[in-house]
Amino acid sequence: MTYVWQPTSELIERTTLSAFLRRHGIADQDALCREADARPAWFWDALLRFFEIRFDQPYSNVLDVSRGIEWPVWCEGGTTNIVTNCLLRHRGSPIWDRDAIIWEGEGGAVIRWSFARLDAETARLATILRQRGIQQGDVVGLYLPMLPEAVATFLAIVEIGAIAMPMFSGFGPQPLFDRLSDSGAKAIVTCPGTVRRGKPVPMLDTVRSAIAELPMLHTVVVLDRAGDAQPGAGREIVLSTADEPPQREREPDMLPAETPAMLMYTSGTTGKPKGTVHTHCGILAKNALDMGLCIDLQASDRLLWMSDMGWIVGPKVSVGCTLLGATLVLAEGTPDWPESNRIWRLCSRHGVSVVGIVPTAVRQMMRTTTDPLEGTDLSRLRTVISSGEPWTPEAWTWFFETICKKRIPILNYAGGTECGGAILIGTHHKPLKPCAFGGPVPGNGADVVDASGVSLPAGQVGELVMRRATIGATRGLWNDPQRYIEGYWQVIPGMWIQGDLASRDEEGLWYLHGRSDDTIKLAGKRVGPAEIEAALIASGLVADTAVVGIPDDLTGSALLCACIAAGPVEDGLAKRISDVLAQTFGAPFRPKRVLFVSDLPRTRNQKIMRRVVRALATHKPTGDLTSLANPDVVEELRQAFAHLETGSAGSSPVSHPSATHK
């Protein structure tokens, strides 16, 4: 397949990556990856120095793996602070009075905070936390929507050496209780409520319900811009953020570089969520690498990447933009309400130059009949970041042609909470083919291997692994070191297993094929669901789908396709879908079951949770569901599977007649 986009020499020349390569006399991105793998200590030291990460006490050794690759120690002997690097480094520069954050509410209200204002708000919150007895090492929950105050809260917590624990703003009382209890949190910062799709979402009431039986949590800080919230029990204090705070009086505490700064829980397939632990030097270096060196975010940029503080993207854009001096554009609610093309209107109104998107949201855009760019001006947009799930070729091509106008590159970004960001990433140095990544992030030793850890040649699908310690990765799991070792380092000893299927092509571009635990074995062949789902979407019969493997008495395993129909669910549609797969992949790929639903289980950042579909189909435990954005769909799926079992016979594909297209 030929390239559909190639960078000009002028574009390559003005990137941050090119400046780094020139400084060190390295030919190109591929040569940098080889050098970083061969000399990791050199690479990480060079990265920290290039981005001028500030250490009050310089580190004596950037990387120590004497305890093993699983337990590296970074920036040994150094002291630093995220806030010193993200805010105070800009004091006295032209950036100080520029917009750090632009926020827009669902109703159109706009708030702007300069870097000076963000710093003052951060310092005020840090003072309040100190006054309430929060000390270094204490966990403080962050339960806020994407407001300017959420960024200030995150920075205030880490400024004093406490550990920020961001939580999804859509959580109910139980997942809040579970995380606050497991972490031993001493405080939580929240707000009275927010608005989502025009409906009020109470947050303070949810916190009150969650903490009723958590006596160790002694402080609830309520950030109230409206100024009408009333404190409840003795542990609540209300702070109005409508008035500009006084200027900073105390500098951030200088902390050992490996001081934990963030505890981020990520959902487990079974059992309780996993608490990943990220440090000051790790968060700073990883954001410099991902956002600065690879994505090429610069101080002149405005970035919009709609997510949540409870997902890794929220803290990443908060730290990445402030570290690099860029403007972070935040928005209340969702990217498709009150207008279906709201995200592009936001980009147009606020001059966004870098935007984040997820492929599942693009597939939903494709279903609309209106022009997604109507009434917009995307002339400043220069980069799209894609994350969350693998693309289908049809969705990628539609987006590249319709939104990007074949001008704007799509930089795919894949990794996870546990590794603090990307393993694979696109850059402005690499040409594009549909769905492709430019390559691995330098310094992690990324590879595609078989079950025994042997590297696979181009064109073969295998496990995505990291062969090197990487500074952004979690420092174990919260109070559970054995689970960390077993889950990431013992599946293939000596390699970090991410749980994704990947491949490379002959030109050196990389591809993702879905989660390895979603792998389906049919007719003796292991396949990921992505290529099967892509064929279904390409047929035009379905708007979106989740394909999983289920047990079969005759063949061992078979396909089940949960589909959102592209039109009315008519008689014979399930058979037409079955025929598409049989004709495309062969008879063994004819699904055992096809059912139609109004939606699929998705996380807030739009990842489809195929394991939930598979668990419901096989009557197995669904595992942790707290990250679901649409929990109602679980009951719909449960009823659909019950109907299939009671209303069908044999192995013929059967649709669920009560499902309607939405």
CATH number, domain containing residue 123: 3.40.50.12780
Instruction: Report pLDDT for 642.
Output: 86
β partners of residue 64: 73
Residue 647: band (very low, low, confident or very high) from pLDDT cuts 50, 70, 90: low
Q: What mean pLDDT is predicted for residues 380-391?
A: 93
Q: Cβ contacts of residue 66 below 8 Å, gap of 6+?
A: none
From CA 51, how far away is CA 86, in angstroms rounded? 12
The residue among 246, 268, 283 that closes a domain is 283
Q: pLDDT, tens digit, for every residue of 411-468? A: 999 999 999 999 999 999 999 999 999 999 999 999 999 999 999 999 999 999 999 9
Domain residues for 149? 81-101+114-283
pLDDT for position 650? 32
In degrees, to the nearest 5, what angle opens at C-alpha 53 toward C-alphas 48 and 54? 135
Which of 267, 283, 299 is where one domain is finished? 283
| β-bridge mates for residue 354, sequence order | 303, 383
Q: Does the structure show a pLDDT above 50 at 658? A: no
- On whether the CB atoms of residues 522 and 476 are closer than 8 A, the answer is no
Residue 608 domain flag = yes
Please return the burial class of 346, using the count of CB atoms within 10 Å of its CB with bins 0-12, 13-18 and 19+.
buried
651 vs 269 pLDDT, higher one: 269
Distance CA 128, CA 151 (A): 16
Residue 370 has pLDDT above 90, yes or no: no
Model confidence band, residue 659 (pLDDT cutoffs 50, 70, 90): very low
Residue 79 has pLDDT above 60, yes or no: yes
Average pLDDT score over the chain: 92
* Residue 208, domain member (yes or no): yes
Q: Model confidence over 117-171: pLDDT tens digits? A: 999 999 999 999 999 999 999 999 999 999 999 999 999 999 999 999 999 898 8
| pLDDT at residue 63, rounded to an integer | 98
* Percent of the chain whose predicted confidence (pLDDT) is above 70: 96
Confidence of residue 653 (pLDDT cuts 50, 70, 90): very low
- Residue at which a domain ends, from 283, 314, 337: 283
Considering only CA atoms, which of 455, 452, 454, 450 is closest in space to residue 440? 455
Q: What is the pTM of this model?
A: 0.88
Residue 656 pLDDT grade (very low, low, confident, very high; cuts 50, 70, 90)? very low
Q: Is residue 393 part of a domain?
A: no
For residue 564, tell me if it sits in a domain.
yes
pLDDT at 645 over 90: no
Domain-embedded: residue 129: yes
> What is the rounded average pLDDT of the residues 524-541?
85
The whole-number pLDDT of residue 525 equals 66
Measured at the CA of 270, the angle between CA 656 and CA 532, to 5 degrees, comes to 45
Handedness of CA 197, 199, 204, 209 (dihedral sign): negative
The token duo for 23 is 């400084």
- Which pLDDT does position 648 carry in this prediction? 45
- What's the pLDDT score for residue 627? 77
Count other Cβ atoms within 10 Å, centred on residue 233.
9
Q: What is the pLDDT of residues 209-246, one digit of tens each?
A: 999 999 999 999 999 988 888 888 789 999 999 988 99
C-alpha triplet 208, 209, 211: angle, nearest 5°: 70
Residue 206 lies in a domain: yes
Looking at the domain assignment, is residue 613 inside a domain? yes
- Asked whether residue 131 is assigned to any structural domain, the reply reads yes
CATH number, domain of 542, equals 3.30.300.30
pLDDT in the model for residue 523: 64
Number of domains making up the chain: 2
